[in-house]
Structure 1
């Protein structure tokens, strides 16, 4: 037995170094604010910020509750957030300037207690300046945002390049790198290993306390173990093996004195008892679940519903979706019910256990765990598809609220092209994205003797990176505002399941893939804080309103009971389809779709609005497409929001799938409003966010639709907005949209396409990227004319990457100091020639690390608008003394390995994130000089205060040449 009291100060000594930095945007969270009573409709909030010294980065965090809101900086709209979006974070460095700045928030309320909250962190040389919303914004102060919902004092779940995707391999019993686990956890908690698995006890994957308070653990292969805790709960007093014919029990719950199990390799759900002689008795098969076993029959949770015990069962996409002897709440209009069924994960409920089966929701990939909140609503942590990593259609792991009847969009389509975009406006949005991880179990903390707010939070297990993630939730209408926090991390800590003990402690088991297993107890040992969380005025009102909204939401969840506003279904569609709340819209549309047809198979009404036009398009009836398109073509983009724009694009795309000829005959009418949208998207520099996606994602969807419609305007639009983007997902979406385009090309746009195509082989992605390129390339090349083949012969195949040689060394002139260059930077100093400065920018090697406009690399800070943040004196000081102030994300790393070697350099972010190798560039001026370090061999690493930028870069240039360089930087182009 080992007892390890953990705190962040032990990170370096235990070898689990710099897991992820704390994210604290201010010493305290911002306050929710809103207008006074005399300005309720379109409130405007203004605040000035004076920055007296140069700054390196500026990070904005913003939340809008029950309103649409836009943030402006110095007259430029930088962020627009629709109602019911999660908190947004944005780098706003390029919009701020040294001196006076003005921040403006413009809001438009929807139903509910509207409020906004903002924090701005500006990193300067020796300090960080914070600005938060409070009463100083000439607004009504509605109380502080809960710290856990703003990340204040919480550790981020962001992963550094040092994190090893294969850390679980170190838990293999035959691993040459097998070692005792090392941990970090939130201060005030301790983790204790109660027992490590013996060689004959297998690998562990599921656990539950039985009616006697003993812990039952299922083995990955077959059988169970029953463990009795010692009286002081500091160790395991006894272990009893329980033989069973059930193979790989992934879900295990107690129903009275009985146990119910999801046995994945036995392909079914079973009920049984454990007799006094440690044998399984009264084993009964409740239902068989055919299919494969990879993403299989996963977790179970038991609850009481209407006075009856019910069991929820979560299944991965390897299991066949049951269609017989089951009540199906999902929409009759899903493509799985109209075409060949595609594999998808799903949620079942049975009450009493084994009887009256219900299919509650679908469209999942591999949701391993499940738990219910205090209202009895299910949540899960769903997996991503690693095959699609780096693609524009990839979606990360995510926390989901499993809406009854909900479709979360996923269908198995690995290796099939054109690809499937799983997230659409007719799919249920996630609660929050998690990112790189391998989801296993989840558990709400209601039974834990932890301090607030952890007792109200959802704990989610990440098997790959050995983490326990906390998801803090606050009700917002029928959905939730959410924020994440890193609670516990170990190396290795391949966590498979979690449960609460009668003592209020958390019990974790590790295992899976035949790795070494162990049982851990996590308990709070700090000063207990039992007081209820103090809520501000806005939070109180938001929760009251959400209770009312959830009653409306619940009335729509059972389509056979729901009636829109009490009116007959052949008169109106549910008014909630126009709700600002995305979950209410989903539930209302589901109720509408369930009763969309009358007994004779005719639509019950003529669709008029976008939401019910979407429902009509989802019927995929060719005869309906002309009528739908007649309504869609009249839509006015200038009057629509981002959500409506996503829905419009989806409607046309569904119509094109259903009846291409009907769409082709109306192509001119559809392209006209679409081109208006293109111009708006191209002209806007504002990041817009809606529950359906961002404006960046809408650009990709619009380009794809233009490709399907054969628009001649596509090459120009795609080249300007996607192909020339620094984001690889943009480039891939542009190439996908353009793959069959034969019209509208110019030499410039064609060159952009071929350059982007040749970049694909150097992009970072999952196993699907190479076959996608293989599928895509011949289609694009087939669209080239004979003249284009000749003109672009050098771009028809990827060329080897060549490193531009360093310019010949220049003669050292003198060691420049700042006082010696006063005549260059003083306010009335004459400016140099920016064109000559561009040459100096190259010869001084600045172009190797810094980008100005479209020129240069993005290794170091962006310099396009550096003159807004730095005076001429500041610029010169930063060049002459690069170590004076180094932004955290540009610092060099010093790395110590097990063999005692020390390496120094810049971590290269490019590369397969699953690789066990860390790539380090040892000379920033020579990107080809790299070394690879095995992450398992790293014992310590620290960011240094040393800049990768060498000192003395200007010592070979004259005073006039330095003047030209400053002119170029001031021009910023």
Structure 2
């Protein structure tokens, strides 16, 4: 029985929702959709508005598919299905409402003489997966069969606040079941948002299994209550047959990806959304393009719990895009487009009114990518897109009661004859090996193959090898995992054992990790080892005090000697272990960091350490939190995270400490070192070359070299490069580059550092006889050894015996990290280039663009 307050709360929610709908409707134009000539596309392409949807009669359209006759079937977000028949000239000759009891679709696909529909709303029997058929051959759908019911979470009911109930209810309705596509294996793939429960009846043998929150430190829930209580796996992908009988859970850990599609290589990709309320916090993850593999874990967790993508038990992004609202996605390999775009994937962004062309480059068994804005308009709220059998790209705009239209993009110039794919033989072989490891049929030979490939240099192959092992009975591989001696393979085996075993394994696994020569590991190996420690403690329980001390002794000497990601993980582990020495090390990182997100991270973890503080470090810490509260900016939940961090930290204070720092907390006492802090930077955009190329001519006009110097430091250029005698020496001296290179060349070197790498600055990849794979820069050598620096910011190096080297090759990846300019604005990037071309002399005018 509902309580009176509950009934009143939901009545208010309903009333406010209806009022909002009425307000939104009043702002929608009664005219046509955005004219085609107001949509920008690359040269050679033309945009045509095929149909402007009458909003009052046919609603706001959010998805579409092509039927076997080449017609378009579309769905109103809150209404019926419609069918557009195209005439010979490609224009609609008929638009009809399908007279059948189904709608509210967010996913459509025609296959097996059926229309498969993902309902996300109250149509038919509610949210679910439906098969729709024409039973009598009269070209009218007349049979609807529910194949699987989808249920949403009910987290919105836990909030007393009507506003928060309403907010979470609306989010749940938009984070339900979404897209569906037909795979090259003849199976149907469905993607669900993070408010959608896993469908009942998925096979226990599914590749994605044994998930958990897997957080070492307590999390802070979202201050707005968004998704609070929704635990792993969050968003997911399932696979089923044409009759909807057999269901397999493919992967999880997504947030709210709307669509999915296979590329020309038969690999599945999606475009996942960000949580914009997290902006400014350490755990903000931008919209991401993901390669979805069987067993893949993508690390979404609610609140501050989102995993960093370097976790060895997760799959990182192909590319981070930045802010946006991902919608439809399609492969372009069947488009009558130039090769550059025929090799691309097209993805819609509702919030920014654009279609992205994503250019994938095979890298081992997965991809790296760049992206560009292919089409944009105002307004152009893209909801879905497809490549039609006529070779053109069709897209629809609309959603949330906005004006809809159906468009076509054609290429009108001559098309090149290149029909090749970008995949090399090596990439093809890597994908085949990964797919073999992902196979559901596991033999004795496959078990051995999995063990062998725990040491593969390809991250996704290692990942799939570990997942393959975890799908087998622990008894069949436990001893092999414990006996593993190859460094990388041993770490992967420990992760598998921690995820699959019980507390009796903990002493052995801690001992194996402690036996590793951590200082000799490169950053990727060290990150994996640190994650293995975490999983041992998370999954198998707290270690004994002697075991914890042995881990402290291994980790403390590494503090602040490696790159940012390693330092974060080290400090997190040492906070968990309550090691007092981590306090000043983390405060040093907090003080020296150039980004607000990095500072937030160290403040967040330090709230958990109870002892080892002195009064000054306490004051420094709380003064920073005061600074963050009063001056720093972020998404709607940022200040809530700061307040909760403060509240948790206060709980660790003794009564005497509370009295001593009370004035700092209240802002009555100023801490000099913190008061002098300048504003820290937050993420601005994941800059691509195409974003900046059009304005490179402005580098010589109205530039500020002082601001360029500040941007140079903010992007950490000075840590590796010297200019006019000042700075680091791990990268090339930049003093004379303004006299040698154009502004465009410098921009390319900054945005795509791996495009051209001078031989003397190339990394090497070294394989050793004990199974290690070390990547880094050779900085010294003698008759017996090589000395390798594994990260440009590392203060210690690795020594490798020449006799142990079994293979050595140059790396195609620059030591310079990607994304260093992502906290800069466009003007700051241009100022930075002008500063470099002026050889760091802020008094000298910027040189002419040669």
CA deviation after TM superposition for structure 1 residue 865, in Å: 7.5
Structure 2 match to 1:396? 286
Aligned residues: 644
- 2:327 is aligned with 1:440: yes
Structure 1 residues 519 and 756, CA, compared in 2 at 3 Å: closer, same or farther?
Answer: same
* Counterpart among 672, 678, 693 of residue 553 in structure 2: 672
Structure 1 match to 2:175? 295
**What SS does the corresponding residue of 1:648 show, helix, strand or coil?**
helix
- 2:407 is aligned with 1:407: no
Cα deviation per residue 1:333-390 (whole Å; 9 max; x = unaligned)?
A: 3227999963511112222332222221112111111111223221111112223222
Distance 1:756 1:399 in 2: 34
Which stretch of the first structure deviates more once superposed, 289-298 or 454-463? 289-298
**What SS does the corresponding residue of 2:58 show, helix, strand or coil?**
coil
Q: Report matched runs for 1:695-734 at 5 Å.
A: 695-734=563-602
Structure 1 residues 296 and 944, CA, compared in 2 at 3 Å: closer, same or farther?
Answer: closer
Distance 2:70 2:437 in 1: 40
- 2:171 is aligned with 1:315: no
Distance 2:431 2:289 in 1: 19
Cα deviation per residue 1:620-669 (whole Å; 9 max; x = unaligned)?
A: 62222111111111221222111221122112222222455425332221
Q: Report matched runs for 1:753-792 at 5 Å.
A: 753-761=621-629, 762-784=631-653, 792=661
- 2:149 is aligned with 1:262: no
Contact 1:723 1:734 in 2 (8 A): no
CA deviation after TM superposition for structure 1 residue 548, in Å: 1.7
Which stretch of the first structure deviates more once superposed, 266-275 or 247-256? 266-275
Structure 2 match to 1:236? 92
Structure 1 match to 2:403? 516
Structure 1 match to 2:523? 642
Distance 1:792 1:492 in 2: 52
Structure 1 residues 770 and 641, CA, compared in 2 at 3 Å: closer, same or farther?
Answer: same
Contact 1:620 1:654 in 2 (8 A): no
Structure 1 residues 779 and 607, CA, compared in 2 at 3 Å: closer, same or farther?
Answer: farther
Cα deviation per residue 1:714-771 (whole Å; 9 max; x = unaligned)?
A: 1211121224323111111111221133444455533431232112223222233222
Cα deviation per residue 1:578-604 (whole Å; 9 max; x = unaligned)?
A: 1110110111001111114238x9777
Q: Which has the larger radius of gyration?
A: 1
Distance 2:259 2:829 in 1: 43
Structure 1 residues 779 and 177, CA, compared in 2 at 3 Å: closer, same or farther?
Answer: farther
Unaligned runs of 5+ residues in structure 2 are 1-22, 154-172, 216-228, 485-489, 676-703, 728-745, 748-825, 833-841, 844-850
Cα deviation per residue 1:69-119 (whole Å; 9 max; x = unaligned)?
A: xxxxxxxxxxxxxxxxxxxxxxxxxxxxxxxxxxxxxxxxxxxxxxxxxxx
Contact 1:311 1:350 in 2 (8 A): yes
Structure 1 residues 495 and 646, CA, compared in 2 at 3 Å: closer, same or farther?
Answer: same
Structure 2 match to 1:557? 438
**Higher RCO by CA contacts (8 Å cutoff, separation 6 or greater):** 1
Distance 2:412 2:176 in 1: 38
**What SS does the corresponding residue of 1:680 show, helix, strand or coil?**
coil
CA deviation after TM superposition for structure 1 residue 229, in Å: 2.2
Structure 2 match to 1:3? none
Contact 1:560 1:591 in 2 (8 A): no
Distance 1:558 1:945 in 2: 47
Distance 2:26 2:362 in 1: 39
**What SS does the corresponding residue of 1:766 show, helix, strand or coil?**
coil
**What SS does the corresponding residue of 2:559 show, helix, strand or coil?**
helix
Contact 2:33 2:405 in 1 (8 A): no
Structure 1 residues 796 and 848, CA, compared in 2 at 3 Å: closer, same or farther?
Answer: farther
Structure 1 residues 449 and 594, CA, compared in 2 at 3 Å: closer, same or farther?
Answer: same
Distance 2:386 2:706 in 1: 55
Cα deviation per residue 1:866-914 (whole Å; 9 max; x = unaligned)?
A: 74489xxxxxxxxxxxxxxxx99xxxxxxxxxxxxxxxxxxxxxxxxxx
Q: Report matched runs for 1:85-104 at 5 Å.
A: none
Contact 2:394 2:407 in 1 (8 A): yes
**What SS does the corresponding residue of 2:415 show, helix, strand or coil?**
coil
Contact 2:32 2:403 in 1 (8 A): no
**What SS does the corresponding residue of 2:561 show, helix, strand or coil?**
helix
Structure 1 residues 386 and 679, CA, compared in 2 at 3 Å: closer, same or farther?
Answer: closer
Contact 1:635 1:673 in 2 (8 A): no
Q: TM-score, normalised by structure 2?
A: 0.68
- 2:145 is aligned with 1:284: yes
Distance 1:330 1:598 in 2: 19
Structure 1 residues 384 and 752, CA, compared in 2 at 3 Å: closer, same or farther?
Answer: same
Structure 2 match to 1:202? 59
Contact 2:610 2:653 in 1 (8 A): yes
- 2:655 is aligned with 1:795: no
Contact 2:62 2:384 in 1 (8 A): yes
Contact 2:456 2:462 in 1 (8 A): yes
Q: Report matched runs for 1:257-656 at 5 Å.
A: 257-265=113-121, 266-273=126-133, 280-292=141-153, 293-305=173-185, 309-324=186-201, 326=203, 328-335=205-212, 342-411=232-301, 413-414=302-303, 424-532=311-419, 543-561=424-442, 563=444, 567=448, 574-598=451-475, 606=482, 608=484, 609-619=490-500, 621-656=502-537
Contact 1:225 1:239 in 2 (8 A): yes
Higher helix share: 2
CA deviation after TM superposition for structure 1 residue 418, in Å: 6.8
Which stretch of the first structure deviates more once superposed, 718-727 or 418-427? 418-427
CA deviation after TM superposition for structure 1 residue 529, in Å: 2.1
Contact 2:309 2:316 in 1 (8 A): no
Structure 1 residues 798 and 529, CA, compared in 2 at 3 Å: closer, same or farther?
Answer: farther
Distance 2:190 2:258 in 1: 10
CA deviation after TM superposition for structure 1 residue 320, in Å: 1.1
Contact 2:50 2:406 in 1 (8 A): yes
Distance 2:828 2:626 in 1: 36
CA deviation after TM superposition for structure 1 residue 276, in Å: 8.0
Structure 2 match to 1:164? none
Structure 1 match to 2:775? none
CA deviation after TM superposition for structure 1 residue 614, in Å: 0.9
Distance 1:853 1:530 in 2: 44
**What SS does the corresponding residue of 2:441 show, helix, strand or coil?**
coil
Distance 1:730 1:353 in 2: 49
Distance 1:243 1:607 in 2: 65
Higher strand share: 1
Structure 2 match to 1:214? 71
Contact 1:741 1:783 in 2 (8 A): yes
Q: Report matched runs for 1:51-70 at 5 Å.
A: none
CA deviation after TM superposition for structure 1 residue 402, in Å: 1.1
Distance 1:250 1:594 in 2: 33
Unaligned runs of 5+ residues in structure 1 are 1-167, 682-694, 805-844, 871-886, 889-941, 949-964, 967-973
CA deviation after TM superposition for structure 1 residue 449, in Å: 0.4
Contact 2:711 2:828 in 1 (8 A): no
Contact 1:172 1:516 in 2 (8 A): no
Distance 2:637 2:828 in 1: 37
**What SS does the corresponding residue of 1:222 show, helix, strand or coil?**
coil
CA deviation after TM superposition for structure 1 residue 405, in Å: 1.7
Cα deviation per residue 1:231-259 (whole Å; 9 max; x = unaligned)?
A: 322x3222111233223111111114321
Q: Report matched runs for 1:159-198 at 5 Å.
A: 173=28, 182-198=38-54
Which stretch of the first structure deviates more once superposed, 444-453 or 632-641? 632-641
Contact 2:82 2:98 in 1 (8 A): yes
Cα deviation per residue 1:251-284 (whole Å; 9 max; x = unaligned)?
A: 1111143211111112111111358878530211
Structure 2 match to 1:163? none
